[in-house]
Structure formats: C-alpha cells, structure tokens
Structure 1
Amino acid sequence: MNEKAEWDSRVEAFWETFDDSKPQDMLAGMRALVEERPEGDARALAEWGGVHDALDLSAQAVEPYRRALDAGLGLEEQHQVTLQLASTLRNLGFVDESIGLLEQLDAPELGDAPAAFLALALHIAGRPNDALRTALTALAPHLPMYGRAASDYAAELAPDV
C-alpha cells in the first residue's frame, strides 16, 4: 500500500470512530493526520474543514474548504467539498452564495444530495415554491407510483420572484 493510500485508510478509520462528544480529541486526531501531508495538500485541507463542520464549528470550516477547492481536488472530492461548503455557508447565513454553488454543482455521483441541500437553501432564502419544485423534481423519479404526477405538480409551481 502506498503512502497516500495508507493515509486515506487512516482518515477513513478516523471517521469511523468519530465522536463529537470529544471535540478536542477529534481536532487533535485530525490535526495529526493533516500534519502528515504536505502544506496545502487539498485532501488534508478538505478533511480539516470536515472535522470542524462535523463538530458544529462551521465558521472554521469555510477557509479550509475554499483552500482545498483552490488547491485542486479530484472531481468527486471537488463535488463533495463544494456540497459541504455550500451547506456550511447556508448554515452561516450566506444563503445566496450557497444557492449559487448548488445550482452550478453537476455531481451525478452524489445522487439527489445537491437537490436536497438546494431545496433547504431556497426555503431559507424565502423561496418556498422554488424549494418545493426542487425537492419534488428530485423525488419524482424515485416514486414507484405517481412520479409523473409529482413532476407535473412541480412544473406547475409558479417561480418565486
């Protein structure tokens, strides 16, 4: 196993045993992992942001997420971090930026997760019809019956202004 794969395995193990009731231990554990990587390592920055997010320290997650995206992640990791950043921004009250990121996110490997978070952001932004349309459109293909009806009802919702 190469060094990067071994590090990835230890990061995965960290998350499997993550315990938000021990925030200082979790920060120290992730800090130790991050410090093993070169300065500015995109994946390490993403994980550092993620541990802050998971500990409800959202304000401290934004910069590492942005730096990870700037440093160059693989496409799937870029999509995941973009979704995490958008969710964090929504939680911090930067709803318009969150919506912008989510509306541009084309990440089929994440399934309907971007649509779910976009619906939340649209709702918080006071755009209930847009939020409901987004949620129904994402949900419709998964309904064993009435999927077409759900799609039709979503299309009938007037856009919020």
Structure 2
Amino acid sequence: MSDVPDPWQHRVDAVWLDRALDDDARIAAIDALAAELGGEHSVALFERAGARDSAGREQEAEPLYRAALAAGLDPARRTRAVIQLASTIRNLGKTDDALAMLADEYTATRGGQLADEAAAFYALALVSSGDTVRAASVALTALAPHLTHYTRSVTGYADELLDPRR
C-alpha cells in the first residue's frame, strides 16, 4: 500500500521545498494531499508524520509514524520512517527505544542507499545515551568512504575506538 502516483509525489515534494510555508501551512497542505490517498494509506500517514515532526510536534508525529510502518511502506520510505520515528522518540526522551531501532536500522542498511543517514541518527542516539565513543566510531565509519584520502586510516581509527587493543 505504499504506491503513489508520480504527480501526487511531485506535489508533496513541492510542499516540502516551499520555504514560504510556515509550519501550520505545511501541515495543512500535507494533510490535504494525504486525504487524497485516504487516511490509512501508509505514505499519507508517513507524510503527515513528517510534517508534524518537522514542525516540532513530535507527540503528534509518533503515532502517525507507527501507523505508517504498520500499514507497510516501500523499503526506502520504511527506512526513512524508522529513522524519523527514532529521532522523534529520542527527542521525547525515549532514548533506549530510539537506540534499539537505530541499531537495527544501522545494521540493516550498511552499504545501502540510506546507510549514512541511519549512521548519523544512530550516532546521535548513542550520544544521547552517553556512549560517545561508539557514536564517534559510527560517525567516522560512515564518513571514511567519502574522504579523498585516509579512508583506510580513519576506518582503522574508528575500529580502534571500540577495541583499543587493535
């Protein structure tokens, strides 16, 4: 149930890109577009959650993200929904739940399209949990392949942070 017509997605994308919209207007615009798909459509739920999350309304966003995930999303949106939900619940003080979700997503996405995004939010959750060394290792591991030089060294140092005997 995560298929949407291209023209619909283009209109949603345009709402997200429209810097003239304030939070309330963006939520209203997304809600209107979501209504076209129906209240239980997974992508409609996901977009509604994202609009609220972006506006700092995490408590409103959380159940919408959960409903979107339960309704079934395509793999890329599912990963985005997990990352966004985990970030939301981390902001709501549910660090352990966020950390568990992001650890799983970090592992599942390694080498995939949204691997760096999962790593970034996993690192943030690790910092929130007090595990700053593991957070640095995760962040450096994600960064290393993008470096012009020193990829192997940075990867080695990231591993060494977790196991100083290396």
What TM-score do you get using the length of structure 1 for normalisation?
Answer: 0.89
Deviation of 1:126 (Å): 0.5
State the one-letter code of the partner of 1:47.
E
Q: How do residues 14-93 of structure 1 correspond to structure 2 at under 5 angstroms? A: 14-19=15-20, 22-93=22-93
- CA distance in structure 1 between the partners assigned to 2:34 and 2:19 by the alignment: 16
Partner Cα separation in structure 2 for residue 58 and residue 75 of structure 1: 23
Are the aligned partners of 1:18 and 1:26 in contact in 2 as well (CA < 8 Å)? no
Question: Where does residue 103 of structure 2 map in the other structure?
Answer: 103
Q: Which runs of 5+ in 1 are unaligned?
A: none
Write the distance in 2 (CA, Å) between the matches of 1:136 and 1:46: 30
* SS of equivalent to 2:5: helix
Q: Is the 8 A contact 1:42 1:71 kept in 2?
A: yes
Q: Could you say which residue in structure 1 is the equivalent of 2:143?
A: 139
Within 2, Cα distance between the matches of 1:87 and 1:48? 16
Q: Which residue is 2:5 aligned to? A: 4
- The answer to whether the 8 A contact 2:16-2:26 is kept is no
Whether 1:112 aligns to 2:113 is no
Aligned-residue offset at 1:64: 0.5
TM-score by length of 2: 0.86
Identity of aligned residues (%): 38
Measure, in 2, the Cα distance between the counterparts of 1:25 and 1:149: 48
- Cα drift, residue 19 of structure 1: 4.4
Q: Is the 8 A contact 1:31 1:48 kept in 2?
A: yes
**Partner Cα separation in structure 2 for residue 19 and residue 68 of structure 1:** 27
Is contact 1:46–1:81 with CA below 8 Å preserved after alignment?
Answer: yes
Q: Is the 8 A contact 1:46 1:64 kept in 2?
A: yes
Indicate how the Cα distance of structure 1 residues 64 and 19 shifts in structure 2: closer, same or farther if over 3 A, else same. Answer: farther
Ranges in structure 2 where 5+ consecutive residues have no aligned partner: none
Match of 2:127 in 1: 123
Question: What is the CA deviation profile of residues 41-81 of structure 1, one whole-angstrom value per residue up to 9, with x for unaligned ones?
Answer: 00000000000011111121111000000001111111111
CA RMSD of aligned residues (A): 1.7
Runs of 4+, deviation exceeding 3 Å: none
Identify the match of residue 158 of structure 2 among 135, 144, 154: 154
Partner SS state of residue 32, structure 1 = helix
Structure 1, residues 2-33: CA drift from partner, whole Å, max 9, x if none? x833222211121121546x222222212211
